[in-house]
Amino acid sequence: MRDWNAGEAAAWLEIVGASHRSERIAAIFSARLARGTEALAAVLQRLGGDGVSEGGARVHAQALLAGLEGLSLVQLLERSADDAGRAQAVRILVRGILGGVIPAHRRTGA
Protein backbone atom coordinates (compact mmCIF):
# COMPACT_ATOMS: atom_id res chain seq x y z
CA MET A 1 0.00 0.00 0.00
CA ARG A 2 1.32 3.45 -0.95
CA ASP A 3 1.99 5.60 2.10
CA TRP A 4 0.62 9.02 1.09
CA ASN A 5 1.23 12.15 3.07
CA ALA A 6 -1.01 15.21 2.94
CA GLY A 7 1.30 17.11 0.58
CA GLU A 8 1.51 14.21 -1.87
CA ALA A 9 -2.26 13.74 -1.87
CA ALA A 10 -2.84 17.44 -2.57
CA ALA A 11 -0.18 17.48 -5.31
CA TRP A 12 -1.66 14.40 -6.96
CA LEU A 13 -5.11 15.98 -6.94
CA GLU A 14 -3.72 19.14 -8.54
CA ILE A 15 -2.20 17.03 -11.32
CA VAL A 16 -5.47 15.26 -12.10
CA GLY A 17 -7.39 18.52 -11.99
CA ALA A 18 -9.28 18.34 -8.72
CA SER A 19 -8.87 21.97 -7.76
CA HIS A 20 -11.84 22.37 -5.43
CA ARG A 21 -10.66 22.68 -1.82
CA SER A 22 -13.23 20.25 -0.39
CA GLU A 23 -12.12 17.57 -2.87
CA ARG A 24 -8.50 18.01 -1.78
CA ILE A 25 -9.46 17.83 1.88
CA ALA A 26 -11.52 14.67 1.26
CA ALA A 27 -8.63 13.01 -0.57
CA ILE A 28 -6.13 13.92 2.13
CA PHE A 29 -8.48 12.58 4.81
CA SER A 30 -9.03 9.41 2.78
CA ALA A 31 -5.29 8.85 2.38
CA ARG A 32 -4.69 9.38 6.11
CA LEU A 33 -7.61 7.09 7.01
CA ALA A 34 -6.23 4.34 4.76
CA ARG A 35 -2.83 4.59 6.46
CA GLY A 36 -4.48 4.67 9.89
CA THR A 37 -6.61 1.63 9.08
CA GLU A 38 -3.60 -0.44 8.02
CA ALA A 39 -1.57 0.64 11.06
CA LEU A 40 -4.48 0.01 13.43
CA ALA A 41 -5.12 -3.40 11.86
CA ALA A 42 -1.49 -4.31 12.55
CA VAL A 43 -1.84 -3.21 16.19
CA LEU A 44 -5.09 -5.14 16.64
CA GLN A 45 -3.56 -8.25 15.10
CA ARG A 46 -0.54 -8.04 17.43
CA LEU A 47 -2.76 -7.54 20.47
CA GLY A 48 -5.07 -10.36 19.43
CA GLY A 49 -2.26 -12.82 18.79
CA ASP A 50 -2.86 -15.97 16.77
CA GLY A 51 -6.64 -15.72 17.12
CA VAL A 52 -6.89 -12.65 14.85
CA SER A 53 -6.35 -12.92 11.11
CA GLU A 54 -4.90 -10.06 9.06
CA GLY A 55 -8.17 -9.67 7.16
CA GLY A 56 -10.27 -9.79 10.31
CA ALA A 57 -8.09 -7.17 11.98
CA ARG A 58 -8.41 -4.91 8.92
CA VAL A 59 -12.21 -5.22 8.87
CA HIS A 60 -12.40 -4.49 12.60
CA ALA A 61 -10.07 -1.50 12.21
CA GLN A 62 -12.26 -0.13 9.42
CA ALA A 63 -15.35 -0.53 11.61
CA LEU A 64 -13.64 1.20 14.52
CA LEU A 65 -12.47 4.10 12.41
CA ALA A 66 -15.89 4.45 10.84
CA GLY A 67 -17.41 4.79 14.32
CA LEU A 68 -19.42 1.56 14.14
CA GLU A 69 -18.31 0.35 17.57
CA GLY A 70 -19.82 1.58 20.81
CA LEU A 71 -16.48 1.90 22.58
CA SER A 72 -13.93 4.47 21.64
CA LEU A 73 -10.84 3.13 19.93
CA VAL A 74 -8.66 3.97 22.92
CA GLN A 75 -11.04 2.20 25.34
CA LEU A 76 -11.09 -0.94 23.21
CA LEU A 77 -7.32 -1.14 22.98
CA GLU A 78 -6.90 -0.37 26.68
CA ARG A 79 -9.15 -3.33 27.48
CA SER A 80 -6.83 -5.49 25.38
CA ALA A 81 -3.75 -4.28 27.22
CA ASP A 82 -2.24 -6.37 30.00
CA ASP A 83 -1.03 -3.60 32.29
CA ALA A 84 -1.18 0.15 32.83
CA GLY A 85 2.12 0.80 31.07
CA ARG A 86 1.04 -1.08 27.98
CA ALA A 87 -2.34 0.66 28.03
CA GLN A 88 -0.62 4.04 28.10
CA ALA A 89 1.68 3.05 25.23
CA VAL A 90 -1.30 1.88 23.17
CA ARG A 91 -3.17 5.12 23.90
CA ILE A 92 -0.20 7.20 22.73
CA LEU A 93 0.22 5.03 19.63
CA VAL A 94 -3.44 5.33 18.65
CA ARG A 95 -3.49 9.09 19.12
CA GLY A 96 -0.33 9.33 17.04
CA ILE A 97 -1.71 7.17 14.24
CA LEU A 98 -5.00 9.01 14.06
CA GLY A 99 -3.25 12.36 14.33
CA GLY A 100 -0.75 11.45 11.64
CA VAL A 101 2.23 12.32 13.84
CA ILE A 102 4.00 8.96 13.84
CA PRO A 103 6.07 8.45 10.67
CA ALA A 104 5.03 5.39 8.67
CA HIS A 105 8.39 3.63 9.13
CA ARG A 106 7.99 3.87 12.92
CA ARG A 107 4.42 2.48 12.82
CA THR A 108 5.34 -0.51 10.69
CA GLY A 109 8.68 -1.19 12.35
CA ALA A 110 10.50 -0.95 9.00
Instruction: Please report the sign of the dihedral spanned by the C-alpha atoms of residue 65, residue 31, residue 42, residue 92.
Output: negative
Per-residue pLDDT, 69? 44
pTM above 0.85, yes or no: no
Task: Name the band, by pLDDT with cuts 50, 70 and 90, for residue 61.
Answer: confident
Whether 29 and 4 have beta carbons less than 8 Å apart is answered as no
Domains of the chain by residue range: 35-108
Per-residue pLDDT, 36? 73
Q: Give the residue among 97, 91, 94, 110 at the shortest CA–CA distance from 35.
A: 97
Task: Name the band, by pLDDT with cuts 50, 70 and 90, for residue 41.
Answer: confident
Task: Name the band, by pLDDT with cuts 50, 70 and 90, for residue 110.
Answer: very low
Whether 40 and 73 have beta carbons less than 8 Å apart is answered as yes
pLDDT at 71 over 60: no
pLDDT at 102 over 50: no
Rounded to the nearest integer, the mean pLDDT of the chain is 62
